[in-house]
Each structure stands twice: as C-alpha cells, then as structure tokens.
Amino acid sequence: MKPPYCALTPEGYPAIFFSALGALVFAMLDCPVLAVLFFVLCWFALNFFRDPERVVPDEEKIAVSPADGRVVKLERREDPISGENRLCICIFMNVFNVHVNRVPVQGTITDIKYYPGKFFNASLDKASKDNERCAYQLTDEQGQTWTFVQIAGLIARRIVCRVEKGDTLARGERFGMIRFGSRVDLYVPDGYIPTVSCGQEVLGGQTVIARRLTE
C-alpha cells in the first residue's frame, strides 16, 4: 500500500501564489504586519485547498462518504432528481475540512442539474432547497441510482464540477469541490442501510457510509 500524500487542488493555485508573493514582498519591504497577514492567508489557502490521497475500501456492497465533515442529519426526503422518497445523509463541511468531493460507489454519471440560489448557512434545512447547489445522479453497476448534491454555504460561493454526463467513475474518485464552508447530501437507494450516525466525523472516499443488505 502506498503511503498517503497531500496534493493541492488546481483551484487553489492562484490564492496560494498571490498570498505567498504578498508575504514575500511585504517581508522585503520590512512591513511585518502585512507580511504576517499574507503568510496567514497563504497558510489558510494551503490548508483549504489540500487534496490528500485516501485509502478507498475495496469490499463489496458498500458506499463511501462523498465528503469530509460531520454527519448532521439522517432522514428520508424527496430525491431532487428522481423524485423518490429516500434516505438522505447530510454531511456538513467546515472551512478546515478537505473540500474535494468523491463519488460513493462505482458507476456512470447519468444526470447533472445546477441550481443557482442563495447562501444560507449550509447546516440549515432550507439550504437544501434555497442555496446554490449542484445535483448529480450516478447509476451503479447494479442499475441503482444514487444522487449526491453539493450545497454552497455562507462563505462558499462557487461549486466546482469536474465531471460530465456519461463519465464512468470508480468508487472514491473525485468529482468536484466546494469552496469554503458547505454541505453534501447523499440520497441512498433502497436496499442500503446507513453505517454512520449523527455527529460522526467522516472522511471522503474512505469512511464507509452505507452498506447493502444481503440479498
């Protein structure tokens, strides 16, 4: 097994470069306050845009978490794409979590819907319908559909989508990210049960979040 390493997302390169440049310039100009300020901004950008490798479980009949963060809700609600009543697992990401998102199971992206909206606190119920968000539908190898929704929060104001309809992705593969505090909702198909509980911390692409019942 290869040891995990920490890369950076391309979306973070400009912020990291200019904050590091600012820290260097102000240090050379003997402006310690501004130099420290830009150094802190650079540290924050490096922390926020990190993209560590994850050890994705290879066992069958499981789904992994689509995001890092804390499980804030487990309830049945209407799937925004299929319209079915399904178990929804809500994961809240604070500004210190990794914000790269990963697919829960292997499959093909069959639909993507983007909804412009507002920027309420992502932990609120109304965020799932009122906030800017992007919903993805994935059909797995058994023909079941999964829906996962990126929801922008108070600070987050840009959802990054890296996939298109027809793309086939492996379990735990990256599909996008959300800048700053945000949330991901996962709609689980029938036949799966959650393996997490409210308040639990999870890692995207690594924590087993649901398991299929034995057929």
Annotated active-site residue 65? The verdict is no
Q: For the segment 70-84, what is each residue's pLDDT rounded down to a tens digit? A: 999 999 999 999 999
- Distance CA(18)–CA(101), nearest Å, equals 25
> CA-CA distance, 97 to 69, in Å (whole number)?
6
What's the pLDDT tens digit per position in 81-126?
999 999 999 999 988 899 999 999 999 999 999 988 666 555 555 5
pTM for this structure? 0.84
Kindly list the strands in the beta sheet with 159-161, ordered across the sheet, starting from the edge strand earlier in the chain.
100-102, 174-178, 159-161
Asked whether the predicted pLDDT for residue 211 surpasses 90, the reply is yes
d(C-alpha 116, C-alpha 121), whole Å: 15
Tell me: pLDDT of 170 over 70: yes
CB distance 148 to 110 below 8 Å: no
pLDDT of the residue at 9: 85
pLDDT band at 132 (very low <50, low <70, confident <90, very high): confident
Instruction: Please report the pLDDT score of residue 188 as a whole number.
Output: 96
Percent of the chain with pLDDT over 90: 61
Three-state DSSP class for 32? helix
pLDDT of residue 4: 47
Residue 65 has pLDDT above 50, yes or no: yes
Q: Is the pLDDT of residue 45 over 90?
A: no
Tell which residue, 95, 97, 89, has the closest CA to residue 72: 89
What pLDDT does 160 receive? 86
Q: Partners of 92 in the beta sheet? A: 70, 183
Q: Which residue has the tokens 């963060």?
A: 69
Contact by Cβ (8 Å): 210, 105 = no
Q: Tell me: pLDDT of 3 over 50.
A: no
Percentage of the chain with pLDDT > 70?
Answer: 87
Mean pLDDT throughout 13-39?
91
Tokens of 204: 């995207």
Give alpha helix (H) positions in the chain: 13-28, 32-48, 127-130
Instruction: Return d(Cα 195, Cα 188) in angstroms, integer.
Output: 12
d(CA 114, CA 131): 11
Domain boundaries, the chain: 6-52, 62-212
| Active-site residue, selected from the candidate residues 123, 128, 182, 197 | 182
The CATH architecture annotation of domain 62-212 reads: Distorted Sandwich (2.70)
Mean pLDDT of 192-198: 95
Q: What is the mean pLDDT of the chain?
A: 87
**Which pLDDT does position 94 carry in this prediction?**
87
Instruction: Tell me which long-range contacts 6-11 makes (C-beta under 8 A, separation of at least 24).
Output: 6/50, 6/51, 6/52, 6/53, 7/50, 7/51, 7/52, 7/53, 8/46, 8/49, 8/50, 8/51, 9/49, 9/50, 9/51, 9/100, 9/177, 11/49, 11/160, 11/177, 11/179
